[in-house]
């Protein structure tokens, strides 16, 4: 059974703090890793799709790195703002590059002004 | 703006009373998915359609059914909701399998 683990489960930071959290996934038969942001009362929104070992992607103050050999990805937020408060989900396709996604439980980030 | 729409946002039903959740998309995507997310759990795929082809996950209970009458609409039918079916139900679309998924805001189902 494939498992996608995210840690920590929740995180509380002050505005301006930088933070990071982890997604762990099976390192064998890797195809891609997806990151989503889900703000309360809104739709989950795609952040990144990462496919190459060593890949680093950036969107504003948010960046992500990927290590496919050891099976983890880090998501970094630089200078957190209250609007960054959301649940961050990672997902791993199983069964091939066109496989369905297995999601982690997410990391819930709260940024206090 | 092109989007994925789910109605209603909140649905209350009675134990055993059939309920239908709806999803529509303006993205013209081939694939539509239904996920169930219970409190503090990961979203779990129930089934998906690639165009008209229905793909059920092995562990999806028979109580859950789906219909996709056309490209734009997809429905989730729960034939006899139990208390354990209370959850957030997310609809998503993608252009092709394995590609980025675009989500609706979800329908939160409460079973009394």
pLDDT tens figures, B51-91:
999 999 989 999 999 999 999 999 999 999 999 999 999 99
- What is the least distance, in Å, from the CA of A102 to any CA of chain B? 7
Name the DSSP letter for residue A28: T
The edge-to-edge listing of strands for the beta sheet with A62-67 is A5-7, A19-24, A72-77, A62-67, A56-59
Segment 4-33 of chain A within 8 Å of chain B by CB: 4, 9, 31-32
> Is the CB of residue A70 less than 8 Å away from at least one CB of chain B?
no
Residues of B in contact with A46 (CB under 8 A): 100-102
Question: What span, in angstroms and rounded, lies between the C-alpha atoms of B73 and A78?
Answer: 39
* Closest chain B residue to A32, measured at CA: B98
What are the residue ranges of helices labelled H in A5-103? none
pLDDT tens figures, B21-34:
999 999 999 999 99
Question: What span, in angstroms and rounded, lies between the C-alpha atoms of A75 and A57?
Answer: 10
Task: Look at A4 and B42 and tell me if their CB atoms are within 8 Å.
Answer: yes
pLDDT given for residue B61 in this prediction: 95
pLDDT tens figures, A24-49:
998 887 889 999 999 999 999 999 99
Nearest to A99 among B35, B98, B105 (CB): B98
Residues of A in contact with B90 (CB under 8 A): 44
Residues of A in contact with B44 (CB under 8 A): 103
Question: What span, in angstroms and rounded, lies between the C-alpha atoms of A67 and A78?
Answer: 20
């Amino acid at each position: 059974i494939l498992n996608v683990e995210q840690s920590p489960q929740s995180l509380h930071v002050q505005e301006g703090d930088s933070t990071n959290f982890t997604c762990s996934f099976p390192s064998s038969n890797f195809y891609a890793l997806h990151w989503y942001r889900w703000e309360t009362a809104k739709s989950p929104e795609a952040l990144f799709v990462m496919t190459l070992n060593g890949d680093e992607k950036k969107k504003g103050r948010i960046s992500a790195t990927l290590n496919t050999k050891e099976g983890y990805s880090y998501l970094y937020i630089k200078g957190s703002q209250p609007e960054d408060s959301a649940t961050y989900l990672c997902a791993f396709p199983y069964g091939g590059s066109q496989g369905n996604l297995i999601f982690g439980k997410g990391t819930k980030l709260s940024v206090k002004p | 703006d092109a989007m994925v729409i789910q109605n209603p946002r909140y649905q209350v039903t009675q134990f055993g009373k059939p309920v239908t959740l709806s999803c529509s998309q303006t993205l013209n995507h081939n694939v539509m998915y239904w996920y169930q997310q219970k409190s503090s759990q990961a979203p779990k795929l129930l089934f998906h359609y690639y165009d008209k082809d229905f793909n059920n996950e092995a562990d999806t209970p028979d109580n859950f059914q789906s219909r996709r009458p056309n490209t734009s609409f997809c429905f989730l039918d729960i034939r006899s909701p139990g208390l354990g079916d209370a959850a957030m139900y997310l609809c998503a679309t993608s252009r092709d399998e394995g590609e980025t998924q675009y989500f609706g805001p979800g329908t939160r189902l409460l079973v009394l």
